[in-house]
Amino acid sequence: MEWLETFWATYSTLVLSVGTNVLLALSIYLTLACGLLTVANAAFMGIGAYAAALLSLHGSLPFYLSLTLGALLPAMVAAMLGPPTLRLSGVYLAMATLAFGEIVRITLLNTENLTGGALGLNGIPQYTRWFDVFAIVVGALYVLVRFAGSRIGRTMIAIRQDEVATELMGHNVRAYKLYAFTLGAGLAGLAGGLNAHFTFFISPNEYGFDRGVEILAMGVLGGTGSPWGAVIGGILITLLPELLRSLGDYRPLLNGVILILIILYSPNGIWDLKRLIRSRHPVPVS
């Protein structure tokens, strides 16, 4: 077992990062699967992180409680934000969520008394253990895989392709989009809380545009075909920069290039690469 201990000593941060990134990827998979392009998940992650951290620090709440509440807050925000913004179509929705993300970041920066402002929050108790992350990831994955294989998943695919036609089949499209958005926000908040309790320091800039793009990259890389794609997307985006050690500052560059390449050559995510290699058929973009 000594091997396991040394492995953990060196790579614990990485493994936990993979875990939380998979959660984030799942959160955006959910919204992308409904055809919603939202870049607000980083902001939701931030809200969840700060909420959970503050509850642990100042409220001295037990970990699981602050984690749960930390996930509930972004979900509630999403539930309020959803109805007016989700009726916007593609482009406008993306921009509204972009604006929202920035508003959150600026608010975090400007509320020093509560959040520590630009200096961030320090000394967050390190409660997160590997099995916390593992259990939550497995739980979320189970739920999403079950959804994907059911009529819910089918309806989401239909919504993605043609909202009006789906509505005319008797589905409450607005409700579906709101649930996806809210659940995604909750997952992101959960990831934020978990993350905060092992990095023990958080600051507003961690939840800004760069993070939002990274989450998007994971979702796009994984594709909207299945939650497993999100898992792969999350793992790859976390591990690739580690494998290419010399990257350092250039990490966003990698994310950017991945986004471009995937969109150009394999728009449905990494699943399509397998299909491309096997069949050499043109990719239908759904």
Partner 1 sequence: MLILSSITKAFGGLQVLQNINLAIPEQRIFGLIGPNGAGKTTLFNITTGLLAPTSGNIEFFGHSLTGLAPHQIVRLGIARTFQNIRIFKDMSVIENVMVAMVRQARYSALRVLVPPALLGAQCVERSEARSLLARVGLAAKAGILAGSLSYGEQRRLEIARALATRPKFLLLDEPTAGMNGTEKHQLMEDILKMAESGLSLLIIEHDMRFIMGICQEIAVLNFGQLIAQGTPEAIRANPEVVEAYLGNESDGVIMFAK
Partner 2 sequence: MLAQQLVNAISLGGVYALFALGFTLIFGVLNVVNLAHGAIFMLGAYSALQAVLLFKLPLTVAILAAMIVTAAAGWLLDYFIFAPLRARQAPHLAPMIATIGLAISLTSTIQGMFGAENLRFPVHGLAAETLQVGGVQITALELQIIFLAFLLMTVLLWWLMHTRMGCALRAVAESRKAAAILGINVEGLFRLTSMIAASLGGVAGVLIALYTNAVFPQMGQPMLHKGIAVVILGGMGDIRGALLGGFFLGCAEVFSVAYIGSTMRDAVAFGLLFTILLLRPEGLFGKAAQRRA
Binding residues vs partner 2 (CB under 8 A)? 37, 84-85, 87-92, 94-96, 98-100, 102-103, 106, 110, 163-164, 209-210, 213, 216-217, 220, 249-253, 255-260, 263-264, 267, 285
Identify which of 12, 15, 27, 29 has the alpha carbon closest to the alpha carbon of residue 219.
Answer: 29
Residue 150 site contact among partner 1, partner 2, none (CB < 5 to 8 Å, cut-off depends on kind): partner 1
Is the Cβ of residue 176 or residue 207 nearer to partner 1 in the bound state?
176
Rounded Cα distance between 38 and 34, Å, is: 11
Q: Name the minimum Å distance from CB 253 to partner 2.
A: 4
Q: Name the minimum Å distance from CB 89 to partner 2.
A: 5
Residue 163 site contact among partner 1, partner 2, none (CB < 5 to 8 Å, cut-off depends on kind): partner 2
Identify which of 106, 53, 103, 113 has the alpha carbon closest to the alpha carbon of residue 77.
Answer: 103
Residues that bind partner 1 (CB under 8 A): 142-143, 146-147, 149-152, 154-155, 157-158, 161-162, 164-174, 284, 286
Q: Provide the phi-psi class of 58: left if phi over 0, else alpha when psi is between -120 and 50, else beta.
A: alpha
Is the Cβ of residue 125 or residue 252 nearer to partner 2 in the bound state?
252
Rg (CA), the chain: 19
Q: Name the minimum Å distance from CB 152 to partner 1.
A: 6
Residue 171 site contact among partner 1, partner 2, none (CB < 5 to 8 Å, cut-off depends on kind): partner 1
Is the Cβ of residue 187 or residue 258 nearer to partner 2 in the bound state?
258
Residue 154 site contact among partner 1, partner 2, none (CB < 5 to 8 Å, cut-off depends on kind): partner 1
Residue 146 site contact among partner 2, partner 1, none (CB < 5 to 8 Å, cut-off depends on kind): partner 1
Query: 122: part of which helix (H) or strand (E)?
Result: strand 121-122
Q: Name the minimum Å distance from CB 86 to partner 1.
A: 14
Identify which of 114, 112, 77, 117 has the alpha carbon closest to the alpha carbon of residue 97.
Answer: 77
Identify which of 221, 222, 210, 206 has the alpha carbon closest to the alpha carbon of residue 252.
Answer: 210
Q: Name the minimum Å distance from CB 273 to partner 2.
A: 16
Which residues face 202 on adjacent strands?
A: 121
Give me the phi and psi of 121, to 5 degrees please.
-110, 130
